[in-house]
Structure 1
């Protein structure tokens, strides 16, 4: 009796001493079937681009291959042949001898977190080959790119390496390049320093490739060559006060550092005296330029406006100007240049308004005052400050004379007359034009009445009557008289009697004034009403 061991279907096993072979070398692949004899073998190869095909290399259990690809095998024996299951696949990679290196652009020695840099995988002697590239990162991750340049955003320090393979052969590749070590630092902070009017910006830790940006915080404006004196990429000369900061930027797109701490430069200050809102032709004012640092004699001063520089490079900080023309209106600014340096800074702008010769205005609440009372007169000059005032009075019989009542802008008067005033200010004094005249009338308390002669109750048109203006208590005064008619016309008479020819009905009133004082008078009398009838006709 013969006994035999019948097992499940056989399975081939494929082994290789290495799966990576230098170009031109070979590797031995060994196929076996589970420690049993009599087997012959078939070999198969495929790639990611081609289907599996049989290798015509005899029926041996081992073969030597120099071509990359995916290999497997199976055994068969007997007649008819019985086949084993195919082996697992083994991938053979062919390693090119071309040297590969990683370069970095920009080639800064220090990289900061968030910067964009480009790594390039360079293959020596690879001309004419269409390559694709594989990258290995510090986290041991791998990435493939079609191009040799790989742009990344720096995040962590570590080693970057690459290898390349032909685009038409996935199982051939170069060796991994030597690693390029990137040192990635935290975002740097700019530093700003000041020597006089020069501000210098730098980046700490020190590194190359930076451009520098300066800012003035009054309005967060970035300073440019158009509005700032750039001494170099990192140095500027400033002439305006403000809070300054800077930061660095490099790369494309631009990567910015953190802002520096602020540096404060105090503006020069231009003031003027007197502090009037409006000046008039002929007046003087004095500017003062305060640099707010150092001593007064550390500087040379210039006072200017857009079209005029009245003082240039002088050693005094006070500037006196006689405003001779309206063209002296405008915005004034002063600048100081520190002696022995290029440090210059300028002040705020001060607006000066120059008007034609000023004119006084005289006002009174009323121009008629009862005898014994007083009226307030107010003199002013065109809504501007600093004025003192002169007062003048005249009558129709006397010439104008100054009233000695101080230099106030208002006075109280109890005397009738023609008044006016003018203002003056400054040293030397500049006078305004005089005001228009205001006539003040004084009203007597004497009662005045109108009487009629003949005292007929009815008057006919064409009759002659006499009206008399009676002043009670006016004995000893030489009066003249003023009459008001129904037509509101006025007439003056030297005598208290006024003879008229009756023509229309209406009210007649009178008042009187002393003949030697045109600006004092009684009040108007009560009206006397005349009733004038048609002409009298006699019947026979």
Structure 2
């Protein structure tokens, strides 16, 4: 602010003026701008100098070039000036008095461009440049530029170069040299007058190449040749260098060969490389190409041993053979197999242990040892097939679980999958000293020492299969079947079933059935084969109409040759029937006895030799009596004498059997009952006895555990015995009971016929045979035959089938007198007729003549034979048995 006063009046003034604000800034810098910094020859450009946000300025202008010092442009104070010269321009602002100067502006370079065109050229001008090659880029000024002295500037991949007098740029390229290149030029006397930048030239640099060598074929015949070609991919200007070597020579350059293609007739290893440029640039050298000369000799692969089937683990040899004169040349060999190619070797064979992976095709070829690149062609392929060999198995034939001493056994070694191979076999067993080499051997008449483990393996040359698993052969002592009979005690005429059991009955056994015949000289029995008892398939055999005591045995056979077991222990069917040819009497005549009683068993009949046999309570069979006097066996009874007793004659006859029991209760009673069956209609008395008192009164009797009468008595009398009286009896005295004994009742009629039946299902005809030992001292001959009567007449009306029995006397003629014991003997033999109308047993008269002398008073006894008639038109299904 300000105020004023008159100079002559110090105390008179104006008021303060309104305030004015002054803002002072830092010293400014002028700003120089140009419409363009590059102008053509003859052109001009406007330069503008300004000081920001202020007025009242005048301007000073300056220009310089590289070769002169800076000078002010006179007569120019305006903000804008127009210039047509190249150079470095700057400006500043001025104002006020004294004059105030702004800071100088930044430089602006104004360049004058010539119209001359500049181009970049590449030498050598190859389309493909490789890392490591040396090239030259040249900057050429066209359209009259030849008369001017120029200098040059380059713009490349990384930075522009400085101005230089040389128009060419020489450098070794790498992958990083790949880029665009440009240049421009200027007159050497005018640094700010230049051409424009040339159009860019693109340089593409690839990795150093490798030459590629190809051959029309690598195998040529003797006298032939092949063309080799060396190339460098996608590039020009190459020359080529060629090289050859062998295994025995160093590599050498093939002189005089610079072409892309050459023709060679020598075997060897060839390589090449490309060259070009100056200085010379080399590609990487090519990979090897081996040229081989092939001989005409044929090569074949052979296998030793030449088995058609090869197994895993075997060792084989493959041999490479050169044919057609190859024997006079020293060769070396090479193999091609399923997995690899071998190196050359002097050995013409290869030996190896095979596995499944060895299966495949094998080939070989050969070459002379003095010429590594002259060889035969590959042989035809040889196919090797390797199989997996199963572990051998040992089998037994027959494959029965149990083998018995004396049987024949075949032990066989089988290798499944190796049937076509020529094996030798090794056996591992405890007994064999010199095992066989075949796959089987027979053990004839085995013994228990043959028992043990057997294993085997196959062998071909030095190859062995695995050992088989061990199979155990168990040889037992000679088998003996067990015979059972049912029932053991006969009712007259009942059927008897024999059962023969062998251990492991399903193992191929056939059964033989025998009748036991007493043999007093051996204190044993001999055996006669029963009718149809030869080699039956079933283990049961039925005998019909058995009437008296008899012994039976069986044995079994199997295999080829057939092995036979021992005979079974004889088993007996006991009959109390007294009509046998031999009889046994007991004194005292009772079943029950006290210990230490004296009992006599007497054999009766018309035979000179006797023995008494017993079957004890513990199942043991005794063949003789301890005290035998003549035909009488005397026993001082003990508990061990409880048994079934019977007599056997020297001619093989059996007596009826009796049951003897022994009791050691000194205070208890025993039952006095007959040892033999009582005939129906006869009378019998039963009593009770103590050791100290033979006859007791006040006795109660029981039949099948039922009290007979409430009143005690001395004895039980049955005046006329009937079948209902058969059963178990016991007595009771003073509250003590005896043991019970069985009383058997036999029919008073005829003796039933005895027949035998082989128990075979669906057999069309069941044969029934007479028992041969039911006569009382028969010494005449009896002949048996099957008689079939067939109806051949006219057809009749069918009636209901009925059975009738017609008897006609059968006379037995005797040349001499017979004994009374043989009189009135009635013999029956049944012969069945089968008819579609009715079954009518017919009995015909048969005259029997005795060929030898008989005892006195022997009378003719009628013998009846039942004859079975068969209708010719009757089917087997209508037959009745």
Give the alignment's TM-score, normalised by structure 1: 0.47
Structure with a larger share of its residues in strand: 1
Higher relative contact order (CA 8 A, sep 6+): 1
The structure with the largest alpha-carbon Rg is 2
